[in-house]
Chain A
Amino acid sequence: MVQLSICLPTRNRQSYCIETIKALAASESRGFEVIVADNSDDPGPLDAFLNKQLKDGRFRLIPPAPAVLPMVNNWERAVEQTEGRWITVIGDDDFVDPRLSELTRLFEVKYRDADAISWECMTFQWPDNRPAPTLARIPLASGASILSKQALADQLYRWSERKRHPGVGVGIYHGAIKRSLMERVKQSYGGRYFEHPNVDWESSCKVVSTARAIVHSQRPLSVLGACAASNSAATVSRETMGTRLATFETETTGGISLNQPFFPFRLAGSGASLCLSIATTTTWFCHTYGIDLAGFGANFAHAAMDECRYSHTREEYDAKVDCFARGFAAWEGGRWAAMFKPPAFAPPKTINQLSGVSDETLHVREAELGPTTPEEFYRFAEHVIMPMDNLLAGTKVFAL
């Protein structure tokens, strides 16, 4: 059995996907396979590249279905095709270090019960996604430890941190999940690996609920890329956010709706935010599977206020406040509406310019640097984080 399956669901971003495939194929490791689940309108480019040009036995292509699939179904068929002992999913404009396969072996020995591995991610904007100054992110620490499932549950389901989004990402997206855990997830939740359109956050919810032990590596192992065509690009541009959400809603027809009566916040429109999108997912999971939500109402009111603080313009701030206020008024008879008291709008002094180190993370002004792809950025960043060889060797003592 191959140690690691890397799933690469993709739709209509063939050029980025091919770059990502090339980056993974450059690894000499035989401990991984890559499942490319193509959901594109034109099957030609990836078929030509993978089957006629690359011809690498570690890569398998799932061609497009007769009709476009909702993203959740494309993820589902990708994971169904995997054969690895551990499984991870990344975006087609991302990168994960194939040596993750070696790290899973190490963690299997070191943390015997561990069936989920999470890690800090680097972030990188592709050169075509820099309409304004952007900062790439490199977490600098390198420790690893078992996470408290109780604390994770509080953070993810009940938003105990009261921030604009939970600081938890322990699912299959930029995380590695043991096959046995994925099968338990399938058995426990409707006979599928994935159900909700927000597949990444849904996966985190299920992993926190079902995993035996979750190991977290502070040392980053992957790069969350954002190209101009990606959903992540919405974090750079408000206009893009609106377009992406509209497309997202359209392409999830037939699955679970993003709009649920028990959480009546409106996801479409100018007031939409990632905060709301994530909350929609976590509340859907908790509501559907009977997870205790005590404290969530007050916590989410604070999280919403935090989200409003991150507005770049007055217009954006007003739209967010309006969207949240309407939602809180309609939610549980307005029970939490009085707690939503957003601070007055304060225009940010700078946007994405504050490079430097904070909270053990290096923020770099990426436009001034050489890397042009997530893989190049990962190799660049490896010069300032613990080398993978040392991580795998368990090296504890270093010379300064």
Chain B
Amino acid sequence: MTLLSICIPVFGHSPGSQAAVIDSVRQMLGNARDDFQILIGDFSSDTEPLSRFASQQSDPRLTVMSPGPASGELAAAASKAACWNWMVPHTRGEWICLIEASDYADPDICAVLEATLKRVPQADALSWSRAGYVWPAARAGREIARIGTGSSLNLPQQKDMMQKLFYWADAGARPDCFFGAWHGAVRRELLERIRAAFSDVYFEQEAPETDSLCKTVLMAQCMVYWERPLSVQGLAGTPEHALPEAEARLEGFPFTTGMGNAAAIALSMERFKQRCGIELEGWEAGFIKACAHDCETATSGEEFHTRKAAYAQAITQWRGKKGLAGFKPEFRRNPKLPRFQGLKDQHLHFDMEMDRTASAAEFYRLINAMLFPVHLLDDKLA
């Protein structure tokens, strides 16, 4: 039985994405488990490299599919969500996980699913701490990774997750809520319920990551969160949910995706709320704080001030000057100060040059050797 399908859509517009995905898949196939599937959806204009790679591997756990002549059309016109929707029916796993070509997800997620389902059989959404990795070519200077060292398995309550997501409770530069199929695993049964409830599609919007997050939090019966990272999100220095500006504007909500992660995610959430007819009050203060936190992630003074000015203008336009009362970002990333390395607040801070990793897969190999072993989770919970 296939427990997990790891889906990786590959788009032609990401340079090196095919090489990156090959690197990741090689490492995944090195895992001895046979209960996972890797499904590569090749939406690039040249499908030959990945097709050849799959033939060379000749591994039943790997499937490479392309919509054929419609590939480019699907990718270009109908967006990422359409590509994701196209892939799901081709999966065979009981659980579905989606990542991007520059990312890595480890097949040992299956071990966590097994340990979880043994104790929480009704679980239908699993998430974990996500590790961020800036690929060497995308680094402007020294990059410090921040990786959680915890290994507790938690069952967050739905009401708490809704607070964290829709009301931005305890948010940093983004909501402190990480569920959904993107860098998470969602049970097929839940995905089908989502499809039935939302116009016969699994994913919508230009940013299906946030769409999946909102739908999962709303509709999951039992969410499970493991503190230990099981996937790596490859970062290229742009906001993770960035969209073309023209597509991202929303009437009455004068934020744009280019402002940063908080704005990009809020835009998707606002669309989702409008789509579902959800009207909430009292979330604005949490979001404005998140905007301030987003400014504080800027790595240069210039970037900080640009971001601060853009957010301030949008907040003023949206809520008037009184909205700025909760918007007080402070520039914390003084480039003259050395970056911290070591252990702080149960997080390891280390230079991404460590062990000279050259890909998201190699970075996972590194952090995997430094963190609680996945195979001991079952013993830990016993």
CA distance A142 to B379 in the complex (A): 33
Count of chain A residues near B, Cβ 8 A:
31
* Chain B hits for A254, CB < 8 A: none
Q: Is A370 an interface residue (CB 8 A)?
A: yes
Q: Is A360 an interface residue (CB 8 A)?
A: yes
Contact pick for A397, options B335, B337, B348, B349, CB 8 Å: B337
Q: Is B350 an interface residue (CB 8 A)?
A: yes
CA distance A36 to B20 in the complex (A): 48
CA distance A371 to B355 in the complex (A): 8
Q: Is the interface of A mostly helix, strand, loop or mixed?
A: loop
Kindly identify, within residues 362 to 395 of chain A, every residue whose CB is under 8 Å from any CB belonging to chain B: 362, 364-366, 368-371, 380, 383-387, 390, 395
* Chain B hits for A234, CB < 8 A: none
- Say whether, besides A141-B342, A397-B337, A384 and B369 are in contact (CB < 8 Å): no
Q: Is B341 an interface residue (CB 8 A)?
A: yes
Identify which of A79-87, A119-127, A321-329, A351-359 touches chain B. Answer: A351-359
Min Cβ gap A375→B in Å is: 15
Kindly identify, within residues 358 to 382 of chain B, every residue whose CB is under 8 Å from any CB belonging to chain A: 365-366, 368-373, 376, 379
Contact A384 B354 (CB under 8 A): yes
Min Cβ gap A367→B in Å is: 8
Task: Bits for A194-221, please: 1 = Cβ < 8 Å to B, else 0.
Answer: 0000000000000000000000000000
Contact A354 B373 (CB under 8 A): yes
Contact A356 B151 (CB under 8 A): yes
Contact A368 B368 (CB under 8 A): yes
In chain B, what residue has the closest Cβ to A356? B372
In chain B, what residue has the closest Cβ to A360? B343
Contact B370 A364 (CB under 8 A): yes
Choose among B344, B353, B376 the residue with the greatest number of A CB atoms under 10 Å from its CB.
Answer: B376
Q: Is B61 an interface residue (CB 8 A)?
A: no
Q: Is B351 an interface residue (CB 8 A)?
A: yes
A/B pair count, beta carbons within 8 Å: 90
Task: Bits for A295-337, please: 1 = Cβ < 8 Å to B, else 0.
Answer: 0000000000000000000000000000000000000000000
Min Cβ gap B27→A in Å is: 12
Contact A399 B334 (CB under 8 A): yes
Choose among B146, B366, B369, B379 the residue with the greatest number of A CB atoms under 10 Å from its CB.
Answer: B369
- Say whether, besides A369-B355, A380-B355, A384-B348, A142 and B342 are in contact (CB < 8 Å): yes
- Say whether, besides A356-B149, A385-B342, A400-B332, A368 and B369 are in contact (CB < 8 Å): yes
* Chain A hits for B335, CB < 8 A: 399
In chain A, what residue has the closest Cβ to B355? A370
Task: Bits for A57-94, please: 1 = Cβ < 8 Å to B, else 0.
Answer: 00000000000000000000000000000000000000
Task: Bits for A6-20, please: 1 = Cβ < 8 Å to B, else 0.
Answer: 000000000000000
* Chain A hits for B346, CB < 8 A: 357
Q: Is A110 an interface residue (CB 8 A)?
A: no
- Say whether, besides A356-B371, A384-B350, A398 and B339 are in contact (CB < 8 Å): yes
* Chain A hits for B141, CB < 8 A: none
Min Cβ gap B330→A in Å is: 12
Q: Is A46 an interface residue (CB 8 A)?
A: no
CA distance A142 to B340 in the complex (A): 11
Contact A362 B355 (CB under 8 A): no
* Chain B hits for A360, CB < 8 A: 343
Contact A357 B343 (CB under 8 A): yes
Contact A399 B376 (CB under 8 A): no
Q: Is B338 an interface residue (CB 8 A)?
A: yes
In chain B, what residue has the closest Cβ to A393? B338
Q: Is A140 an interface residue (CB 8 A)?
A: yes
Min Cβ gap A170→B in Å is: 23
Contact pick for A385, options B338, B341, B373, CB 8 Å: B341
Q: Is B249 an interface residue (CB 8 A)?
A: no
CA distance A236 to B371 in the complex (A): 22
CA distance A349 to B371 in the complex (A): 18
Min Cβ gap A372→B in Å is: 12
Contact A354 B149 (CB under 8 A): no
- Say whether, besides A360-B343, A384-B354, A399-B338, A353 and B370 are in contact (CB < 8 Å): no
Contact B348 A357 (CB under 8 A): yes
Can you give 14 A-B contacts (C-beta < 8 A)? A142-B342, A349-B376, A362-B370, A364-B370, A368-B368, A383-B350, A383-B354, A386-B341, A387-B341, A398-B337, A398-B340, A399-B332, A399-B340, A400-B146
B binding-site residues for A, Cβ under 8 Å? 146, 149, 151, 332-335, 337-344, 346, 348-351, 353-356, 365-366, 368-373, 376, 379
